[in-house]
Amino acid sequence: MTRTTSLIALMALAFPLAAPAAAEVTVLGWPGGPEEAALRAAAEAYNARPETAEEDRVELLFTSRDGFFDKLAADLAAGSTAFDANLIATYSIGRYAPFMRPVDLGPQAAATFGDAVLSTMQFEGEQFGVPTDLSLHFLYVRRDLMDALLADPEAQATYTRIAQERLGEALAPKPPEDWTWRDWAAASLYFSQSVNPDSPTRYGTVLQMKNLLFNMMVFQSLPRAYGADWMDAEGNVTVDSEAYRTGLELYKLLYDAGATPPDSTSYEYAEANAAYASGQVASMVQWNAAAGELTSEETAPAVAAVTDTLPPPAGPEGRFTHVHSLGLGINAAAENPEGAERFLQWLATPEAMAVYARAGGAPGLAGDALAAVAADRPDLAQLGDYAVNYGYVMRGATGANALAVYERQAADFTGYWAGTSTLDEALASATEGMTELLAPPAQ
């Protein structure tokens, strides 16, 4: 009897009750990677300020990156009070807005970020968060391979022949800065051993074709450069267009020709980077976040020294890159919303962003704020420049159902690429799904 009682007592010790929350500001951030390091640095700096009141001290909370947004949806929907401020992204503001409250970022915000970047955190005209990290796409390209090609007339002849055969146009090699999407396709074909047995790399490019909504963001800069949009001004879904067809067919052409690894239909960010870092891929359209990893001798010794980061290739309608931001907004069920707002207002100042940027964050800064960190983070100038000059947002992509639209597109488009449906079937399905999802709410 005594043994059982002590056993039970022992078990009871293993389950202490959770301590009551202290009066402070809890911020749920994006776990892992530079965003977390930067947020920590910012929170530390904020807490160290003499102006910061005791009850406004910021405490950080990080959960799992896997399933982060699903868990966030559940927590917000249930009115969780575990955090006062939480991460949001441009493409999910619409989904989480019903559970968040708009925030006033103060007078310095517009000067710190510029209007274009600030608008990535707006929904239906209201500001829902402070944009802390900008995400867009680079064209990662092997400078050494391109230089060698441009210096070798025989290789150029082969290149032109391949372009004529596969793309129907006798293209000549160009420096990557001047590429159109057709040039990119021609180069990808040239640098693939299945098309050109003498190619120095196994694959010309690596496409991320996993059925994943983020891969749609990577893909759609291509059709955008041909004039694509989700909807026209009247609200009709325009995914079944020449622009989208061109883009989808180009990807399929490359996949079928073997210009991208055959497993590409299960590739996303990590796999694509691994492929490129192995040195067997000539170019890749990929998120800017990969730049650190792919240009570091420690993590990518095979390609670090010879990789250039450029904006994506251009099309007839111009040069475009999808852009969105990650940021922090206020939970509608927050216990300390005023304190949270004060923290976000401080974040929207040049001093705060300088701390954030130096610690590894990637904000889109403007004017003086940018100048302050230009020496430590020259890449931020590139980031801001691309965002302002090439950034675009599809009409409807900040709506409440934006994520669902990406998911629908992912299912339909990857089906076409994998050969389980025809182009017409895929576009018809996408149009049907998007019309339903993008329909204005019933009055």
Partner 1 sequence: MTPRARENRWLVAPAVAFLLLMLGFPTVLNVIYSLSDVSFETLRSPRLDGLGNYGEVLSDGAFWASLSFSLRFGALTAVAEVLLGLFLAVFLAPLLRRHPWLLAVLTLPMMIAPAMMGLMYRLMLHEFVGPLPHYLFLWFGSSPAFLSPAWAFWTIAAIEVLQWTPFTLLLFHLAYASIPGEVREAARMDGARAFRLFRRIELPMLLPTVLVALLIRLIDGIRVFDNIWVLVGAGAGGSTTSLPIYIYTAFFRGGPLGPALAASVLFALAAFATLALALRLAGRRAP
Partner 2 sequence: MTALRWIVLGLAALLMNLPVIATLATSLKPPAEIMGNPGLWVESPTLANYATVVTVSDRLDVWAYLGNSAAAATLGAALPLLLCLPLAFVAARRGYGRRLLLPLVVNLRALPLIIFAIPIYLMYQSAGLLDTRVGLGLVLAVVNLPLTALILLNAIADIPRELDEAAAMDGARTGRMIWRILVPALRPALATSFVFGFITAWNEFLFGLMLTTREAVPMTVGASFFFAGAGGGVQWGVAAAVIVVAMLPPVLLGLLMYRQIGQAMVAGAVKG
Query: Nearest approach, Cβ of 276 to partner 2 (angstroms)?
Result: 10
Tokens 């403007």 -> residue: 366
**β-strand partners of 141:** 283, 308
Nearer to partner 1 by Cβ, of 210 and 342: the residue is 210
Binding residue for partner 2, selected from 40, 143, 245, 395, defined by CB under 8 A? 40
Please name which of 48, 5, 47, 6 lies closest in space to residue 27, comparing C-alpha atoms.
47
Nearer to partner 2 by Cβ, of 1 and 233: the residue is 1
| Binding of partner 1 by 324 (CB under 8 A) | no
| Binding of partner 2 by 5 (CB under 8 A) | no
Answer yes or no: are the C-beta atoms of 267 and 206 closer than 8 Å.
Answer: yes
Nearer to partner 2 by Cβ, of 52 and 288: the residue is 288
Query: Nearest approach, Cβ of 76 to partner 1 (angstroms)?
Result: 8
| Binding of partner 1 by 401 (CB under 8 A) | yes
Answer yes or no: are the C-beta atoms of 188 and 182 closer than 8 Å.
Answer: no
Token output for 15: 């389950």
Rounded to whole angstroms, the Cα distance separating 43 from 353 reads 11
Nearer to partner 1 by Cβ, of 127 and 215: the residue is 215
Contact track, partner 1, 408-427, x by CB under 8 A: ---xx-xxxxxxxx------
Query: Nearest approach, Cβ of 264 to partner 2 (angstroms)?
Result: 17
| Binding of partner 1 by 91 (CB under 8 A) | no
| Binding of partner 1 by 407 (CB under 8 A) | yes
| Binding of partner 1 by 98 (CB under 8 A) | yes
- DSSP class of residue 308 equals E
| Binding of partner 1 by 274 (CB under 8 A) | yes
Rounded to whole angstroms, the Cα distance separating 204 from 208 reads 13
Binding residue for partner 2, selected from 245, 253, 269, 335, defined by CB under 8 A? 269
Rounded to whole angstroms, the Cα distance separating 421 from 119 reads 37
Q: Rounded to the nearest 5°, which phi and psi values hold at 265?
A: -70, -5
Please name which of 419, 415, 422, 434 lies closest in space to residue 210, comparing C-alpha atoms.
415
Rounded to whole angstroms, the Cα distance separating 251 from 337 reads 46
Nearer to partner 1 by Cβ, of 53 and 78: the residue is 78
Nearer to partner 2 by Cβ, of 106 and 279: the residue is 279
Q: Is the dihedral of CA 300, 305, 309, 315 positive or negative?
A: negative
From the DSSP assignment, how many helices (H) and strands (E) are in the chain?
20, 14
Nearer to partner 2 by Cβ, of 333 and 411: the residue is 333
Binding residue for partner 1, selected from 271, 308, 335, 432, defined by CB under 8 A? 271
Binding residue for partner 2, selected from 24, 36, 56, 412, defined by CB under 8 A? 36
Amino acid sitting at position 56: D
Binding span for partner 1 by CB under 8 A among 118-126, 129-137, 269-277, 303-311: 269-277
Answer yes or no: are the C-beta atoms of 329 and 86 closer than 8 Å.
Answer: yes
| Binding of partner 2 by 227 (CB under 8 A) | no
| Pairing between β-strand 321-331 and β-strand 130-142 as defined by DSSP bridges | antiparallel
Binding residue for partner 1, selected from 158, 193, 238, 266, defined by CB under 8 A? 266
Token output for 216: 């749609």
Rounded to whole angstroms, the Cα distance separating 382 from 135 reads 12
Q: Is the dihedral of CA 40, 42, 48, 52 positive or negative?
A: negative
Binding span for partner 2 by CB under 8 A among 70-78, 234-242, 338-346, 424-432: 70-78
Query: Nearest approach, Cβ of 421 to partner 2 (angstroms)?
Result: 27
Q: Three-state DSSP class for 275?
A: helix
Binding residue for partner 2, selected from 65, 107, 157, 317, defined by CB under 8 A? 65
| Binding of partner 2 by 262 (CB under 8 A) | no
Residues 406-423, buried b or exposed e (16+ Cβ, 10 A)? bbbbbbbbbbbbeeebeb
**β-strand partners of 284:** 140
| Binding of partner 1 by 299 (CB under 8 A) | no
Interface residue list for partner 1 (CB under 8 A) = 70, 73-74, 76-78, 95, 98-99, 209-212, 261-263, 265-266, 270-271, 274-275, 278, 280, 400-401, 403-404, 407, 411-412, 414-421, 437
Name the residues that contact partner 2, by CB under 8 A: 11, 14-15, 17-18, 31-34, 36, 40, 61-67, 71, 74-75, 78-80, 82, 214, 269-270, 273-274, 277-278, 287-290, 292-293, 297-302
